[in-house]
Structure 1
């Protein structure tokens, strides 16, 4: 599998008047940092921004400039430009997660860096993002761009369950596999899964939930994915588990599903739906449930206060990791449910700290196996992009600028109380 990344830093040159101008512009912004300490190192020079060193700030991070052209990328490309410059090795950081945390705590400064001169690029980035809308054809293409990177690549850092979603750690020292299995059991117990249930799952992944629920609870599951590689490996894993009689694996868009089910599960799939299609998604979910049915979605969310601006922007994740994707806010979910369904919310639980732990475990494993990943045909730039992606998300969850929640919705005739646990 060859994975070459077409990151194109703005600078195009490693020094000169443009880099000098960009450096001055960037340093003026960094002088506005008010929380934490950022030390920018240029050769023998050290520039301190934010809290003075003698204050021993909780967050104290060193950023090493390897190429002056990175100033151009950051000053004129904002947070996306900074990510691109990291991908190409133009700057280094001793504590990448803490750097993200520092900027989240100085969000007002980051917002200014993502405005100003970055408006030159923003219209084009937004246009390209809008071309990746999650129509049925577009969704298949967008999903393939991420999930069809190669099953072997994902297997290098995921645990044996192949769950590519936040775990729930029963103990601080629990393994990633324990956290994934605890999350799956938590979902089943919150929904009160029984052997007589027929569950529909939107977003199979590599079959982790379907296999666990069928094996541990004896229920039937119909599950669908539109990723070709996920479908192939999930099919193999279901067969190897001897659960072909319990699990029906489909390869079709959620909009094409039909039938009536006791329960519905969708684990971190709504991020690939696109905000324009939330009403369609929840209307379809409601139509698949029996009159007493329930559904659980695990969703990565952005704060309600930032959602409207977020819809207008294109970030590093959307440009390089998940094309066409976007995070919902809890209010955006509730609006779509209220307007298009007869569902009612019966349970909501945020467990963002567990996602930070999950991402840390993934990143450590990913970087430990970087050489074996490169041996599969992936470039150094790809490795750095994924390191940045995993640490970028970890920092966001640590600071709660993004969250992850279980939301359970019930049809009108559902009377059973939710067993709340994590």
Structure 2
């Protein structure tokens, strides 16, 4: 008997479902919606039916909101409103909040059954997504060292590496995007997706400063924003300059010299100095770790001839970064000057130690003068000899011409003519 009763109940329910489906058909269900916090949204359920309006329901999270055009007692009419227009059953939600996100379903029931059924074969459901904008102060930008130490200054050097940090918070279920640009060139994009109600999206990376006009910008885009937000950090990039004075220096052995290193356009005055002398240190060095380098009692390598060239380099160190500048030092060998007494004595100059370039030049000039004088003297002597010979030859010819009366005299004339001498 009990089985017959249960069978009758199940049959009754099946008959109700079949009759309901046949009498109430879904034309179009509500569409999914994505809105921002504070907006209004409406869901429309359209059906053909021969039932009364009170047999339609709106349900949210297994909770009945409306039946027909009536609200359940726990539902605030300030939050929800319902309207019936011809075959449309419309639910409106005002001033949407994050808590309103979820699935809304339009259901029906048979007249004599206080139970809501889903439309078949496809339920009349819609998903509401609420976009939460980021916090008012987002995005946030700041700089750190490579070891994440916060930097509050913006003075940097070309070649220095820093860490750029950008983050945005309070996004709800949205998917914000951070775009990083350096000098208007995009270098990175970061999109974070999760299902939490409070979201933190961040970008963190190390880069090297390569130009003086470096500017770092973080752009934030989100479905909950009407326009892109950004934060920018402009770097004050310095160009340090290191100079050594004097720039060129030429001295002799045994002299003392000093160089000074000038450092300009540095962030601080806490600088370290180091000097380097190449190929070797030609003397005694003092104050090797300051901006001034003193070298006393210069000495040369005696195995090398001639003047010797040295490279003087100053290194300036700050926060692990190094700058340098170089100059040259030329050392000439000392020239020996001969005393006056040596010049008055007949001594061998070659026995004197050291370079004798100046003395050798003076001797060369004396040799040239003496040579010229000798040549002129020889020339004059030859001319005098020629004159004497010519005069004697002329006298001989005259004497021979006056004595032509004898054969012996004639032969004497011939002999005189041939030899240029007068014989008896």
Give the shorter-chain TM-score range: under 0.3
Q: TM-score, normalising length from structure 1?
A: 0.16
Q: Which has the higher helix share?
A: 1
Q: TM-score, normalising length from structure 2?
A: 0.16
Pair member with larger Rg: 2
